[in-house]
Amino acid sequence: MEKADNTQRAHLMLLMLALVMGSIVVWALGPVKGMPLLTAIAAVGALHLAVAIGAGAQKEWARVASLAMGCVMLIGFPIGTMVGIYLIANAKTDWRLERPRYSGSLTDGWPVRAETEAA
């Protein structure tokens, strides 16, 4: 679960980065000249949003998509490489097979003897 949460947070941060980049494109080029680039940035942002939602639900397709996106991001040296490695590291194992977290108490999970009422 923790790796799925980390992947979800990473994709949400990349979505925010896409929103900032889209705002800069509109500001610099204007809404008409920057429309093709803005459309591409919006598509990438929508993909990150979809994968973030899937990672939050621990879906297998989101893990595979995150691996693929991490591999593509390896090309963007140096920051894309770091983010790509982070995505691959968190998505390389199955999210649903993580060890359960145990509490510190020894009595948690043990059957408790029912108190009998004195009649």
Q: Which segment of 72-76, 92-96, 97-101 scores lowest on mean pLDDT?
A: 97-101
Between 95 and 66, the higher pLDDT residue: 66
Instruction: Establish if 32 belongs to a structural domain.
Output: yes
Q: How far apart are CA 60 and CA 55, in angstroms?
A: 8
Does pTM surpass 0.85?
A: no
Does residue 101 belong to any structural domain of this protein?
Answer: no
pLDDT value at residue 93:
84
Mean of pLDDT values over 43-53: 95
Per DSSP, the three-state class of 100 is coil
The answer to whether position 13 is within a domain reads yes
The total domain count for the chain is 1
Which pLDDT does position 113 carry in this prediction?
A: 57
Residue 113 maps to a domain: no
The answer to whether residue 105 sits within a structural domain is: no
What range defines the domain where residue 71 resides?
Answer: 2-92
User: Could you tell me the sign of the dihedral formed by the alpha carbons of 28, 74, 65, 5, in that order?
Assistant: negative
- Does residue 114 lie within any of the structural domains? no
| 45, part of any domain | yes
25-29, 56-60, 102-106: least confident range: 102-106
